[in-house]
Structure 1
Amino acid sequence: MLWEALGSVLIGLAVSYGALRWLPARLGQFRSRPLALSTGPASALFGALLAHSVLGAGHTLAVLAVALGVAVALVSLLLRPGSRARRSATA
């Protein structure tokens, strides 16, 4: 369980750092840099805990895959929507 927790935190850091580095044009669209860097590890750790409690011991790769999915999903929620012109419903 310790290695799963450590691996999930590292996965979360990689996801959040990668999102900030890979999307430099959208850097202004992230709510805040520290929030993005802390959401990745926290969400990956939560995903790993959830997967470990459901799957049990011995499923390390599946637990880390779930941690990756949860981290990507929650970091992507921090993106603000683009500033496109909206169409009205009457048009």
Structure 2
Amino acid sequence: MILETLGSVVLGLALSWAALRSLSGRLPSRRAVFGTGALGALFGLYLMHSVLGPGHAAATLIGAVLISAVTVSLLLRPRSRRLGRSAAA
């Protein structure tokens, strides 16, 4: 269980790092993204371990990463739209 916990946190941080590298303009501060990724992975690990039970380490880690990705995606801001001419003008 300890290795699954450490693995899920590392995978959540790696996912957060990848999100910051590719979508840095649409995400809040680095601290918030890394914290959300790690905590999302821990929550995902707990949830998947409760659902699947012991003995499913790979599936549990995959589920933890997926839930971490969902929580990080909730931080995304919409793309900024340029203010141009309105359609009626």
Range into which the TM-score falls when normalised by the shorter chain: 0.7 to 0.9
Query: When the two structures are superposed, what TM-score results if normalisation uses the length of structure 1?
Result: 0.84
Larger Rg: 2
Question: What is the 5 A alignment of 1:16-27?
Answer: 16-21=16-21, 23=22, 26-27=23-24
Query: When the two structures are superposed, what TM-score results if normalisation uses the length of structure 2?
Result: 0.86
Superposed displacement of residue 79, structure 1: 1.1
Aligned to 1:64: 61
Q: Partner letter of residue 2 of structure 1?
A: I
The C-alpha deviation readout for 1:8-36, integer Å capped at 9, x for no partner, is 00110000011111x1xx42321211100
When the two chains are superposed, the root-mean-square deviation of aligned CA atoms in Å is: 1.7
Structure 2 unaligned blocks of 5 or more: none
The DSSP-based 3-state class of the residue aligned with 1:11 is: helix
Identity %: 51
Runs of 4+ aligned structure 1 residues displaced above 6 Å come to none
* Equivalences, count: 84
